[in-house]
Amino acid sequence: MPITKENCGFTVTDAECFSLSDTLECGQIFRFVPAGSGYDVWSADKFCHAEQSGNTVTVVTRDVDYFLRYFAFDTDYAELNAKLAAFPELTVAAQAARGVRLLRQDPFEMIISFIISANNNIPRIKKIISAICAAAGKKTENGHAFPTREELAALKAEDFAMLGAGYRAPYLYEATRTVTDGFIADVKAADTAAAMKKLLTVKGVGPKVADCIMLFGLGRGDTFPVDTWMEQALGTDELDTNAKIRAYYLARYGELAGLAQQYIYHYNRNILRRA
């Protein structure tokens, strides 16, 4: 796909297998808002405004290379989509959700965000994260950056509670002390099984949250988060637990399991439910 880079952003023409709205609205990101004819998007301390008209995507940002990578414009999603569409049970979902991409997000932000996401709904997750950014993140011309570990470590557990985190407040407090740069480096360097095991040592991180962190923060495709939506979509008499669903579809889709999960999730939550 042709990409034109400028100092203040970039334009992608013939952006095959990319839907800005579907990618942002499928539950993998919490710091975005509709703005004008597009979206304002924040990641770590970076910001962009993105719009799409047909297959043309325009992104205004000072961090051009960051957001080119963030939106995975260096990856042939048409090829990945075709591979998953070849599975009979995925053909319809892969076609309906073909514009969904896996964003490459900041690992620390993902760990904190998905601890907040546990047993929560998306509007409330976004509200809590926004409050934490406003309370501890650096003020920029485009809003507040996501706080660094050091900035969050200055908060007490009761501060997180006052910002709406509820029972997750002590988990967030502990995470700011556990999830160091060294911790993240170790997770990145480990294979998927070992990385999952290490993430599960963080209080507030269960199997589903760990899978989300691996998929959205570390780009590990051999993960398969299972929540209520996935359980409803894929549960059977044989696959009657989240662990069984996860194991079966990991084995079936391999390195593309994470993308398959997003296709299934988006199709069932955002398409079937509205049909």
d(CA 72, CA 252): 24
Read off the pLDDT of residues 108-166 as tens digits, 9 standing for 90 and up. 999 999 999 999 999 999 999 999 999 999 999 999 999 999 999 999 999 999 999 99
Instruction: Quick: pLDDT tens for 72-107.
Output: 999 999 999 999 999 999 999 999 999 999 999 999
Distance (Å, rounded) from C-alpha 7 to C-alpha 63?
Answer: 9
- What is the Cα Rg of the chain in Å? 18
- Three-class secondary structure of residue 199 per DSSP: helix
What distance in Å separates the CA atoms of residue 188 and residue 251, rounded to the nearest whole number? 22
261's tokens: 């999960």
pTM for this predicted structure = 0.94
The Cα 256–Cα 223 span in angstroms is 8
